[in-house]
Structure 1
């Protein structure tokens, strides 16, 4: 008897096992479909993560004593956050509804804005301007452009006031980026507008009410020039630096610092933006939003400026300007401003920067304006104030020694006008040359640096053009003719002359050829006061974490003194010039001794007068002069240095205004020190 095969039985077992496995899988799929199908479908539908950045309030600014000078103030705001792929008709519908609740400025709407609105609201009438044959041979874009071209001024002039409001609002909505809040109105939003929009916001997708912020200045306009400004939402990030800001997670409509400290310290003041991730489905509907980074208010700045001193200096300059303008109104018709910089020579801390401009409108009362920025951006011929640099150049180049004596009398070089000091001073060495402000001594320094040691009256002199480069290089060591390094976005460096000759080098040596800024002059005299160390001036002392309402937080970063260079000159020469500056203010023949001697403090410095002719259409119309003064105090341990520039003063009508301003601002500084 044959044995039965076992194969069918084994196959049955295999089929049964497969059946059990498939049954289990079907059961599991059923559970997934019934219990978690919705969640699974949502995961499948999620197609994109979008990140948006929400700006935070900017950091505040305080003066060196902790007085608040820049704050934020909250304002009502109406915003629009467009969903993905929103259509023009949807924005039009929102704009029409929103126009019932708010009023916006429509002065910036363009003809193109009005044409787009006209076509959107009168589409059938607009496209009726095209013939059927034109429609057939044109694509959609060409048709639209042709309709735009055929709209007339008549069509646009018949838009109603209400429609222009809609156009203005829609323009704001069109500027918004997907899923990013955009300001529709934040200036002059009334409580009624705020409440009404909030009540009807569910009727307008993406419209919301919130609070925005703006800058306020608790100290008024004092020092406002250097605080700078920020852009409006309408302007957004600076157009010249769009790529720079976009790569740093800025929105196009986000406000940024556009000048001075607000711009220089933008990344510090802007803070850490609040970030949200938006999850969208395949239809671009937002499924959910989640916070991925909390916002942090910008860090605060503690400035080096003393606001109490700044206010006093502003007042002093205005009063002294007013005095001589009232006393000599006709002679001073071209005098319209005075400039002052005060700083600490050892640290570079700017204490005050003042620029008061006098304005004479026709048939109106005279008034004074703060134009302090001119201390950094306007360059003027300094006159004899820079003779300290000239003497040091002569010492270091080896053309003079401390024993060198020149006979101060009129100098006449062939084919040039006679050059002289304000009088014939006789024999002068470097000390008496500084004390009495001898031009002739400086002329001989220039001639010797130019290569001529044998001056003969009415004959030509040797001149090596490299002497200009040499003297300029010495001057640059003081900060004259180069950037001072101040923490501002831009600064002027003066103007380098394009001609070179022996006579012009002599003019350069007495501050009558190339102009410098008031800040450069302050750095120059600070370098002399600081034993030859040129320190970078700065307006910010500390960066701090956000603090309480009126006080900055803990220190994040301290900005200390930074040495730019040390004068490449022997210390004995620097001390010699310091001694000369002492005699200018305190010597028996010092040009400023009548103002500065016998004071509670001992000051040193140098006076200056530069010829400043006024031309109009190439024709000389007036002769004026720049009155300057640089100095520091106390002489033996300098705490403060300063530069004063009063440009275009009428001849013999200045009443030594530069001396008077210099003395009064030093008095104000030491009074402040006593009070503190």
Structure 2
């Protein structure tokens, strides 16, 4: 027994040794693993702990300015206070609510007309959820929690918040304001500045308070923003155009276009006029900020990657002093005509005029006025010089005579007897009175309709007209005459540097009588700008130039009101030379001179005594007017086109007054013509004397 006991005791140390050895091995492996982690992979893991990433954000800069040809500012920028918010990547709804609650202590937001800040039902439910999260979550079943993702759970919880729980009466004014601020914060995208309030909505005291407490307002900044300024108020503003608001951002219909060119969705862009036409020039280069964020998306550092530069400046061809005078003349004569002859001019409410340099295509003024007789108030309607088309009447007769020459149906000096034209099945057509025997120059000077009718009939194939009988007629004559007209810019795009332009209406009934009407400007319609290009082409010896608003582009000068160095010049561009003999052009130029300078000319008594000598053409056309849904014809469109001086043209003009009264009326087209030419030459004389 003793031996057995001794043997048993001897086995215990051996087992313990095995256990100790196993523990030793495990401990050695642990030490080895710690060594590998610390020595071999320590830097890698430390780098992961310290990992950061760089992201970039772009801050818009002021847009380029617009100046007139004399250096007068037309469109500028006004700096204004702005409170912005730039969230981190990982910012949550609760974080934005915390910022909104703090920010509400320093700023106030206009509650709006409804007194409720424009808050929607969803805005209120989202706020209620953040303030009552546990209650909202308790309305989900365990099965719903298991089967729904986070987004589905959130939507369901919002749906189960009763409308009664979030009615306005349940919230204080302070809570509603916090909701309104949070609504603006929610619009912000990560690392992209979002304006919360700006301009008149931010007082200097509020701006200072926010600036002082930026440390407790993560993502908030007190900075400056820019709004377009118009020193001349509404004058030329329609042509300058407008830009989108921040809420609009880039235009949805052009989203792909802008995004592929480096824009952000909330960038403001030109949406009309020259702002749209020259968006790529005016936008500038945005300031780029580099944000360093940790692995949680929190911003740990920021720096300016490169400074922004405001957009390039435009110098326009417009003379704003002349532009203002043109509008003044239009207002004066429109009001005079309406007030002196209220019944005769009961349909008249608009007057339009364009002035341009026929040798360069530079638009000097483009004015329009609309008169609301009920309110005795004028409204700027300059855009209608490009977008609205009218029948201009006899103003097109220069193009008709040239079409006759070039088509070979008449020669310079040919005579016709001006008496009513009686075509079987067509109403009798005539001039304003029987003019007897007239040649081409007489026809222009005295504005013979019948002479133009003969040209049209011959272009249609009829050379042996006999009163009361049918005539031979080829409908292709419409295309032929319009082709000649188009070489002057009538019925086609002028090529103007503007995003919106009407080319007029082209009649679609190819009857002989309508071709005769086309020849005297009473079938197709044209814009005032087209008429200006047409008369400029005649003044410029048959060279049709592209009309343009842009004179030059300039690099901006920082912190200066001066115009910077030229970046690009917009040179004169010839679109085409009319396919007609120079002798033919000169013959019509002489006819146009006689209209304004010789006895019997339809404009002579208004312009013969002017020191500047004018050439051009008058025009009268029946106006399509609807009264109580019924078409009536007791109104006429009055037009006047021309250039001066006739021997060395430096200014061309076109004007039209739609729906004027008939008969013994105020000669509004002539009065406007005199007024705008007087203004032009007076300004030019003043410049020479300076």
**TM-score, normalized by the shorter chain, greater than 0.5:** yes
SS in 1 for 2:680: helix
Q: Do the aligned partners of 2:355 and 2:532 also contact (CA within 8 Å) in 1?
A: yes
Write out aligned runs for 1:500-511 (5 A).
500-511=510-521
Q: Do the aligned partners of 1:324 and 1:653 also contact (CA within 8 Å) in 2?
A: no
SS in 2 for 1:158: helix
Change in Cα spacing, 1:256 to 1:597, as seen in structure 2 (3 Å) is: same
Q: Do the aligned partners of 1:53 and 1:249 also contact (CA within 8 Å) in 2?
A: no
Q: Which has the larger radius of gyration?
A: 2
CA distance in structure 1 between the partners assigned to 2:175 and 2:343 by the alignment: 56
Paired position in structure 2 for 1:187: 199
Change in Cα spacing, 1:130 to 1:605, as seen in structure 2 (3 Å) is: same
Write out aligned runs for 1:22-37 (5 A).
none
* Alpha-carbon distance, 1:44 to partner: 7.5
Q: Do the aligned partners of 2:493 and 2:502 also contact (CA within 8 Å) in 1?
A: yes
Q: Deviations over 1:188-242 (max 9, x none)?
A: 1101211121222222210110111112122332211211112222222222222
Instruction: Name which of structure 1's ranges 639-648 and 506-515 shifts more when overlaid on structure 2.
Output: 506-515
Q: Give the counterpart of 2:624 among 610, 613, 616.
A: 613
Change in Cα spacing, 1:435 to 1:270, as seen in structure 2 (3 Å) is: same
Paired position in structure 1 for 2:19: none
Paired position in structure 2 for 1:414: 424
Change in Cα spacing, 1:42 to 1:77, as seen in structure 2 (3 Å) is: farther
* Alpha-carbon distance, 1:424 to partner: 0.7
Q: Do the aligned partners of 1:56 and 1:272 also contact (CA within 8 Å) in 2?
A: yes
Paired position in structure 1 for 2:190: 178
Q: Do the aligned partners of 1:533 and 1:566 also contact (CA within 8 Å) in 2?
A: yes
Q: Deviations over 1:506-545 (max 9, x none)?
A: 1111111111111111000000000011111111111111
**2:661 is equivalent to residue 650 of structure 1:** yes
CA distance in structure 2 between the partners assigned to 1:653 and 1:54 by the alignment: 63
CA distance in structure 2 between the partners assigned to 1:654 and 1:229 by the alignment: 39
Q: Do the aligned partners of 1:237 and 1:254 also contact (CA within 8 Å) in 2?
A: yes
Q: Deviations over 1:455-508 (max 9, x none)?
A: 222222222221111111111111111111111112111112232211111111
Paired position in structure 2 for 1:336: 349
Change in Cα spacing, 1:129 to 1:282, as seen in structure 2 (3 Å) is: closer
SS in 2 for 1:95: helix
CA distance in structure 2 between the partners assigned to 1:301 and 1:654 by the alignment: 43
* Alpha-carbon distance, 1:45 to partner: 4.3
Q: Give the counterpart of 2:556 among 546, 549, 572.
A: 546
RMSD, aligned α-carbons:
2.4
Change in Cα spacing, 1:446 to 1:129, as seen in structure 2 (3 Å) is: farther
What is the TM-score with the length of structure 1 in the denominator?
0.90
Structure 1 unaligned segments of length 5 or more: list them.
1-25
* Alpha-carbon distance, 1:159 to partner: 5.1
Change in Cα spacing, 1:370 to 1:45, as seen in structure 2 (3 Å) is: same
Paired position in structure 1 for 2:69: 64
CA distance in structure 2 between the partners assigned to 1:505 and 1:555 by the alignment: 50
What is the TM-score with the length of structure 2 in the denominator?
0.88
* Alpha-carbon distance, 1:117 to partner: 3.0
Q: Give the counterpart of 1:482 among 469, 492, 495.
A: 492
Instruction: Name which of structure 1's ranges 151-160 and 632-641 shifts more when overlaid on structure 2.
Output: 151-160
Write out aligned runs for 1:350-499 (5 A).
350-361=363-374, 364=375, 366-499=376-509
Change in Cα spacing, 1:407 to 1:45, as seen in structure 2 (3 Å) is: farther
Q: Give the counterpart of 1:85 among 87, 90, 96.
A: 90
Change in Cα spacing, 1:425 to 1:149, as seen in structure 2 (3 Å) is: farther
Structure 1 moving runs of 4+ over 6 Å: 29-33
CA distance in structure 2 between the partners assigned to 1:185 and 1:505 by the alignment: 61
Between the two proteins, the alignment pairs up a number of residues equal to 643
Structure 2 unaligned segments of length 5 or more: list them.
1-34, 112-116
CA distance in structure 2 between the partners assigned to 1:421 and 1:470 by the alignment: 24
CA distance in structure 2 between the partners assigned to 1:371 and 1:41 by the alignment: 69
SS in 2 for 1:103: coil
Paired position in structure 1 for 2:277: 264
**2:235 is equivalent to residue 222 of structure 1:** yes
* Alpha-carbon distance, 1:165 to partner: 2.3
Q: Give the counterpart of 2:674 among 663, 668, 672.
A: 663
